[in-house]
């Protein structure tokens, strides 16, 4: 009986894979953005919440995207901040030590030598002392980061509030505020299990509106709690959201149910997975 169920699951999975290739299945649901004037309402909302700050907007994926577009690639302070944010995602201690030193040399040391640093000397000195001790905890750049955020706030947030990038960000934000559960399990047909990990299972699934086959990784909240894996789970989500590489699966959605954390990822086939 169990064999029969496994065969049926395989057949339905293969049929779904086939259907997803058919052009008819690719009827993508269109999202209609609200009128651009809505940005006044969203801006008021941020002001009332006290969240119209570089740090708060940048911590949202869309916010980071539009702020980056607005600031451009030539701002050294922003480049410094981004290097720190990437550094904070490095789990291996030795690798963090090496990267912290590189960041210090590139963004702090040269400016200090040339006496052209805008960073208060006590913050730069604290950082230099911490790195000399050979320690590079994730928090080693905390004070620097606060200083950079303040600087970026003063330099850009006024201009950003009047930009096209901000208008577009507010249109997306409005949609998000209006429909907090923009995506849920109901949007997918779940097929067979394709793998098991430490905190849960990975399924092949099909997004109903587009017909695209994807992988659904479901992490069990109870198992995460028992194994004290909260940090790992959040880190995995944040890292996957940041990484943009042909060698790492894309994270399309991350949401939760009362029992599960759910990641929707590129579906890798076995031959590709075993190549790396
Ligand atoms: N995107 C994917 N496409 C296809 N199969 C996948 C995908 N992600 C994971 N799998 C399969 O599921 C198995 C478990 O994956 P998972 O990422 O959960 O492993 P893990 O990192 O060991 O687990 P955990 O993150 O829960 O500790 C993998 O070995 C692989 O066979």
Nearest CA to ligand 1 atom 12: 195
Q: Is residue 113 pLDDT above 70, yes or no?
A: no
**pLDDT average, residue stretch 212-223:** 95
pLDDT at 242: 78
The burial class, CB within 10 Å (0-12 / 13-18 / 19+), for 106 is: middle
Domain limits of the chain?
Answer: 53-160, 183-273
What does CATH list as the number for 183-273?
3.30.200.20
What would the pLDDT profile of 55-64 be if each residue is shown by its tens digit?
999 999 899 9
Domain 53-160 CATH class label: mainly alpha
- Which residue's alpha carbon is at the smallest distance from atom 1 of ligand 1? 267
Average pLDDT of the chain is: 86
Ligand 1 geometric centre to CA of 88 (Å): 23
Three-class secondary structure of residue 43 per DSSP: helix
Place of tokens 């040339």: 114
Mind giving me the DSSP string for 115-181?
A: T---S-HHHHHHHHHHHHTT---GGGGHHHHHHHHHHHHHHHHHHHTTSHHHHHHHHHHHHHHH-TT
pLDDT score of 19: 66
Nearest ligand 1 atom to alpha carbon 233: 25
CA atoms within 13 A on the CB side of 102: 10
Q: Tell me if the pTM is above 0.90.
A: no
Number of the ligand 1 atom closest to the C-alpha atom of 265 = 1
Does 202 contact ligand 1 (Cβ within 6 A)? yes
Atom 11 in ligand 1: residue holding the nearest Cα: 195
Q: Categorize the per-residue pLDDT at 156 as very low, low, confident or very high, splitting at 50, 70 and 90.
A: very high
Annotated binding site for ATP: 217
- Which tokens is 21 given? 């290739």
Say which residue, 19 or 246, is predicted with more confidence.
246
Q: How far, in Å, from the CA of 219 to the mean position of ligand 1?
A: 11
pLDDT at 26 over 60: no
Give the pLDDT band (50/70/90) at residue 154. Answer: very high
> Is residue 275 over pLDDT 50?
no
Residue 251: per-residue pLDDT: 92
Q: If you measure from the C-alpha of residue 215 to the centroid of ligand 1, how many angstroms do you get, rounded to a whole number?
A: 9
Given this model, what pLDDT does residue 46 score? 95
Determine whether the shortest distance from the Cβ of 215 to ligand 1 is under 6 A: yes
Give residue 190's pLDDT.
92
């Amino acid at each position: 009986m169990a064999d029969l169920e496994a065969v049926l699951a395989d057949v339905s999975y293969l049929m779904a894979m086939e259907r997803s290739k058919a052009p008819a299945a690719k009827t993508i649901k269109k999202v209609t953005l609200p009128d651009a004037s809505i940005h006044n309402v969203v801006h008021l909302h941020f002001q009332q919440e006290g969240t119209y700050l570089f740090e708060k907007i940048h911590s949202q994926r869309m916010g980071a995207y539009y702020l980056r577009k607005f600031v451009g690639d030539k701002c050294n302070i922003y480049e410094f901040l981004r290097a720190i944010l990437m550094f904070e995602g490095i789990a291996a201690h030795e690798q963090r030590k090496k990267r912290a030193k590189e960041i210090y040399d590139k963004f702090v040391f040269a400016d200090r030598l040339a006496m052209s640093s805008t960073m208060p000397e006590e913050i730069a000195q604290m950082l230099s002392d911490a790195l000399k001790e050979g320690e590079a905890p994730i928090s080693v750049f905390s004070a620097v980061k606060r200083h950079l955020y303040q600087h970026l706030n003063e330099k850009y947030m006024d201009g950003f509030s009047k930009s096209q990038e901000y208008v577009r960000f507010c249109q997306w934000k409005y949609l998000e505020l209006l429909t907090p559960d923009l995506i849920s399990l109901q949007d997918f047909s779940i097929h067979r299990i394709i793998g098991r990990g430490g905190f849960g299972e990975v399924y092949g699934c099909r997004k109903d509106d587009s017909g695209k086959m994807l992988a659904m990784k479901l992490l069990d909240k109870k198992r995460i709690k028992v194994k004290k894996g909260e940090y790992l789970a959040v880190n995995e989500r944040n890292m996957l959201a940041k990484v943009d590489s042909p060698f790492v699966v894309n994270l399309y959605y991350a949401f939760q149910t009362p029992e599960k954390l759910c990641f929707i990822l590129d579906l890798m086939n076995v031959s590709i997975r075993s190549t790396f």
